[in-house]
Amino acid sequence: MITSIVTEPGYTVVENAPLAARNTFRVPARAELLIDVHDANALPDLFKLGAVKTGSVLILGEGSNVLLTRDWPGVVLCMAARGIRVLQDRADCALVRVEAGENWNDFVHWSLGRGFAGLENLVLIPGTVGAAPIQNIGAYGVEVREFIETVEAFDRHSGARVRLGNAECAFAYRDSVFKRAPDRYFVTAVEVLLPRQRELRLDYAGVREELAKMNIDSDAPSHAAVADAVMRLRTRKLPNPMLIGNAGSFFKNPLMPAAQADDLLREYPQLSTWPALDGQRKLSAAWLIESCDFKGLREGDAGVSSQHALVLVNYGTATGAQIWALAQRIIDAVQRRFGVMLEPEPQVI
């Protein structure tokens, strides 16, 4: 049970806090301290507190990219500050500041509703704006790094708020400096450059086909129409975390040198691959997993979605440890059969 709740200017502290409602897998876990930060100006004083300054700190948004396999013996920090503000409004684009606690999907709709382009492929991705640069979220051929100008964060090393430009964020496929140094940075806001016109990305994972089903000409659809198509695709392919516990795609699509990928394709011509940076190719993790007969598998209340092989689900009372044990079985099976090592997308605690 919760032992106490303390409200201070700018933040709220809960001792022995339950986290089942704070993660989309809905797995049970508790935190020694849960701190919701409502004002980033409170962070310098907050990080001077003993438990926060010296203890283990886990940064949590909406819990849509984390698997908790145990209780957290320290502080869980959640950035709850919200707000969207146009900093510069130019003829061809606008620089927009978004507080870290804003819901990402709400912000995508905000941008489309005001005539901005570019984020339509990233619609319906769960989580907060503050989590977006950490994971460098991406979908349907677009990544958030293409729009980020600056990330504002609190740096535990210096004890001050810092601003990191796009290059300093060291973005990579589902990766960033924030993900590689999770104990250092606490993202407080993101500044994005939103264009008013941008070439559409339609050649990924059935977007054109979905537009055709909607009786929309794929040669000149609106950005809003592309967002509708992506929402239809995601809704059909991915289980809703509001109805069944999951964190979306659990595994990254593995990257491999092109020559090695060609060898695999000669043996398994049905394997889906896509060009990637630096002469690499991206392999379909879903195909690899489904080929190992895991799609639709259920072990107790832990399972693999029958809708999409990349999605692990909690049918009700599975623990994080049970879901992680299933994930490790999948990793081992794919490695044995194909010689390919899968990596989890969410942070596994």
| 174 catalytic residue (yes or no) | yes
Report the 10 Å Cβ neighbour count for 240. 13
Q: How far apart are CA 248 and CA 240, in angstroms?
A: 9
Q: Do residues 282 and 274 make contact, with C-beta atoms less than 8 angstroms apart? A: yes
User: Tokens 């001077």, residue?
Assistant: 48
> Residue 8: pLDDT band by 50, 70, 90 thresholds?
confident
Give the model confidence (pLDDT) of 56-76 as tens digits.
889 999 999 999 999 999 999
Contact 167, 207 (CB under 8 A): no
CA distance 80 to 178: 18
C-alpha span between 148 and 138 (Å, rounded): 13
Q: Tell me the C-alpha distance between 115 and 141, whole Å.
A: 21
pLDDT of residue 281: 94
pLDDT in tens, 166-213: 999 999 989 999 999 988 899 999 999 999 999 999 987 789 999 999
Strands 30-37 and 72-79: parallel
As a whole-number percent, the residues of the chain with pLDDT over 90 amount to: 85
Q: What is the mean pLDDT of residues 248-269?
A: 95
Alpha carbon distances (Å) from 34 to 2, 175, 177, 247, 297: 11, 26, 24, 21, 34
Mean pLDDT of the chain: 94
Mean pLDDT score, 277-298: 95
pLDDT in tens, 119-169: 999 999 999 999 999 999 999 999 999 999 999 999 988 889 999 999 999
> Which residue of the set 64, 111, 176, 249 is catalytic?
249
Verify whether residue 345 is a known catalytic residue: yes
Q: Which residue has the higher pLDDT, 230 or 217?
A: 230
Q: Which of 22, 145, 174, 281 is catalytic?
A: 174
Alpha-helix residue ranges (DSSP H) falling in 149-201: 177-180
pTM recorded for the entire structure: 0.89
Average pLDDT over residues 94-106: 97
Q: Which amino acid is it at 65?
A: N
* Active-site residue identified among 120, 191, 210, 345: 345
Cβ neighbours, 10 Å, residue 87: 12
What is the model's pLDDT at position 176? 96
